[in-house]
Structure 1
C-alpha cells in the first residue's frame, strides 16, 4: 500500500509499504477513505518535536471502512464505517474509565509513565504507524473506532478524528460559562474549532488572534472579534476591548511553533522570544535541523503562552491545547501565580468527546465542513505538506483521499 513515511527532519516520502495485519485479538484493520494533515505532523517534520523514528508512517486523523477485526473486537464488524480517535486508549484502565483516554495506562507499549499513545508519532508515543496511508492497524478497536451514522459524511467525519474534539476540549478546559469573554490564540484549524466550541458553550464574546488574513476572515465569519498581531499589540488591544480587565478565559491553540509579530507595536517586545527559540532548537541534533525553503519552525515558541497569561483577567482560566515538547521548560509562572490564574492543559481525550460531536453533526446542529479548505489525493501529499507548512493562502485544513 502507499503511505507517507518519515525519514528525517525535512524528509518525508510517499512510498510503498507492507499492508498492516492483525497483531492482537483486539486489533482491527481499516481501509482509509479520508485522512488529513495536522499542525502536529509539522512539529515532527520541522524538528521542534525531536526523536521521530525513521520509517514511521505519519498522520493521526482518519475515517474509513473496517476490513478485518480480531477475535476480541465484539462491537465492530467488517464493513462498518468508522472515525478513528487520534489518541489511543484501552478503554478499561482507571484513566479511560474516568474519561482521561489520553493518559491510558495500557495503550502505550512503553509503559504507563511514557504518556499519550497516538498514531504517527515518535517512539515515546508507541510508536504506532499513522493514518496517512491506504490502510491502518487500529489497536483496542473496541474503543478506538466509533461507528458513523449515514447522515455524517467523510468530509465532516475527518474533522471528528482530531481537530474538532481538540478545539472542544480546549473550550471545556477553559471553563467557559455563558456570557464569558474568551480569547483564542491561533486561528488555525484547532483554533477555529475552539472559537466554534466557545460559541456552542454560550460565550458572550470571542476574541481571535492571528496574523494570517484568511484565518482571521474565517474567525470573523464565525462571529469572533479579530486581532491581527502584525498590526496591533494583542495584549493592549484585548485590554482596550475589555475596559482594562482582560478576558475570563484564554485558549492557546498554537503551541511551540508560534510566530512573533513581523511588524507593528508588538514586534519589538517579541524579539525576546528568540532566545527561547534557540533553547528549544538546542534540543534537536544538528543533523536534524530542517533545510531548504520548507519546514519552518516557529520563531517564538513561548509567544502564545506569554500573550495569553498577560491577556487574562485576574482569577481567569488558561487552557493550553497547542503542542509543546517534553523538553520545553518555559512558562511565565510568576505572572500567572500573582494573578491567581487557573491553568489546565494536555492532550485531548478524543474518545470522550467524539460521540457527542457525532450527534451534534448528525442532528444538523453544527456543520464543521467549512474548515476543510483543500481536498488533495494522497499522490499529491508532499506538495500539500509544503503548502500547509508555509501557510499559503487558502491552505487552512487539508483533507487527503487515498
Structure 2
C-alpha cells in the first residue's frame, strides 16, 4: 500500500509500505477514504524527529470502510463505514471507565512514562502505524471504531477522529458560566471548532489569530476576531469591560509564533544525533510559550485557561506568581475522544450542520501530494486552514 512516512526532520515521502493485517482477534483493517493533516502532525515534522524512525507512517485523523474483521470483533462487519479516534483505548480498564481514555492502562506506554498509545505519533506513544495511508489496522476495534451512516459526506464525520472532540473538551474544560465570554487564541482547525462550539452553547466568543483568512472564517460563525499583535491582550480585556474573558482556550500550543530563540534551539536539537536529542528533550526541553502567556495575561481574575494546543517541554518557565495572584484555574490534556463523541455525533448529523463541519476544509489533495500539503499547512499559505487527503 502507499503511505506517508517520516524520513528525517522536515522530510516526508509517500512510499510503498507493508499492508496491515489482523494481528489480534479484536482487530479490524480498514480501507481509508479520508485522512486529515493535524496541527500536532507538524510537531513531528519540525520538532519530535528524534522519537521517530525512518519509514514511520504518520497521521491520526482517519476514516474509512472495514475490509477485514478479527474473529472476536462483535459490533463491526465488512463494509461498515467507521471513524477512528486518534487515541487507542480498551474500554474496560480503570481510566477508560472514568472516561480518561488517553490514560488507558491497557495501551499506556509505561517504558516512557506516557499515556495511551496514539496512531502515528512517535515511540513515546507506541510507534503505532498511522492513518495517512491507504489502509490501517485498528486494535480493540469494538471500542475504538465508531460506526457511522453512509448518507453524509466524509467531512461531516471525519473530524470526530480528533479535532471536534478536542475542541469540545477544550470548551468543557473552560468551565464557562452561563452566557460567559470565551477567548480563543489561534484559529486553526481546533480553534475554529472551539469558537463555534462556544457560540453554539450560547457564549460570546472573542478570538485572536494573525491570518486574515482564518479570522474571516471564524467571523462567518459569529466570532469577534482580532489580529495577533502586541495589542491582542489589551483588545481581549477591552472587549470584556477591562476584565478579560471568563476563560481562554490556547488552541496553538508549542507551534506558537514568537519565541524565536526557543524555535531556533528546537530546530538545532532536532538535528543532533537521536540519543543526544532525546536526552535534551526529556530533561531540559522547552516550548514556545507565546500563546499560553497571552492566555494567562488576558484571562480575567478567577478565570480558567484551557490548553488544547499540544506542549512537550519538560522545563518550561511558568509565571506562577501571576497565576496564583490572578487565581487562575488551568485545565489541559490530550483529548479523551471516546468520552465526547456520542454527544457530538447528533450535531454532526444535524441537517443544519450547527458546528459548520462542511466549512473547515480549505484544501483537498491526494495522498501522493501529502508532503507539499504539510508545507502549505505549516506556512499557512493559500488561506490553508485544514487539509484532507484522499488515498
TM-score of the two chains, using structure 2 as the length reference: 0.92
User: Is contact 1:388–1:395 with CA below 8 Å preserved after alignment?
Assistant: yes
Task: Quote the offset at 1:333 in angstroms.
Answer: 2.1
Structure 2: runs of 5 or more not aligned: 275-285
Q: Secondary structure at the match of 2:253?
A: coil
Taking the aligned partners of 2:83 and 2:331, their CA distance within structure 1 comes to 27
Give deviations 1:256-293, integer Å, cap 9, x for gaps.
01003xxxxxxxxxxxx3444455556534368xxxxx
User: Is contact 2:109–2:115 with CA below 8 Å preserved after alignment?
Assistant: no
Task: Quote the offset at 1:353 in angstroms.
Answer: 1.4
2:182 aligns with 182
Q: Secondary structure at the match of 1:382?
A: helix
User: Is contact 2:183–2:247 with CA below 8 Å preserved after alignment?
Assistant: yes
Taking the aligned partners of 2:315 and 2:197, their CA distance within structure 1 comes to 28
Give deviations 1:292-335, integer Å, cap 9, x for gaps.
xxxxxxx9810011010010111101100101115352322221
* Residue 401 in structure 1 maps to residue 382 in structure 2: no
Give deviations 1:117-175, integer Å, cap 9, x for gaps.
21111101001000000000011111110000234321211121111111111111111
Q: Secondary structure at the match of 1:88?
A: coil
Taking the aligned partners of 1:198 and 1:166, their CA distance within structure 2 comes to 13
Task: Quote the offset at 1:360 in angstroms.
Answer: 1.3
Summarize the alignment of residues 47-196 of structure 1 with structure 2, pairs less than 5 Å apart.
47=47, 50-108=50-108, 110=110, 113-196=113-196
Q: 1:49 to 1:210 in 2, by over 3 A?
A: farther
Give deviations 1:196-252, integer Å, cap 9, x for gaps.
11112211x21110100100111111111111023x511111122222111100000
* Residue 286 in structure 1 maps to residue 275 in structure 2: no
1:374 aligns with 363
* Residue 390 in structure 1 maps to residue 379 in structure 2: yes
Structure 1: runs of 5 or more not aligned: 261-272, 289-298
Q: Secondary structure at the match of 2:64?
A: strand
Q: 1:326 to 1:95 in 2, by over 3 A?
A: farther
TM-score of the two chains, using structure 1 as the length reference: 0.89
1:223 aligns with 222
User: Is contact 1:180–1:248 with CA below 8 Å preserved after alignment?
Assistant: yes
After alignment, is 88-97 or 40-49 more displaced? 40-49
Task: Quote the offset at 1:364 in angstroms.
Answer: 2.6
1:331 aligns with 318
User: Is contact 2:47–2:266 with CA below 8 Å preserved after alignment?
Assistant: no
After alignment, is 149-158 or 239-248 more displaced? 149-158
User: Is contact 1:110–1:124 with CA below 8 Å preserved after alignment?
Assistant: no
User: Is contact 2:118–2:128 with CA below 8 Å preserved after alignment?
Assistant: yes
1:239 aligns with 237
1:212 aligns with 211
Q: 1:212 to 1:84 in 2, by over 3 A?
A: same
Aligned length: 378
| CA-atom RMSD in angstroms | 1.9
1:259 aligns with 257
Q: Secondary structure at the match of 1:313?
A: coil
Taking the aligned partners of 1:184 and 1:375, their CA distance within structure 2 comes to 26
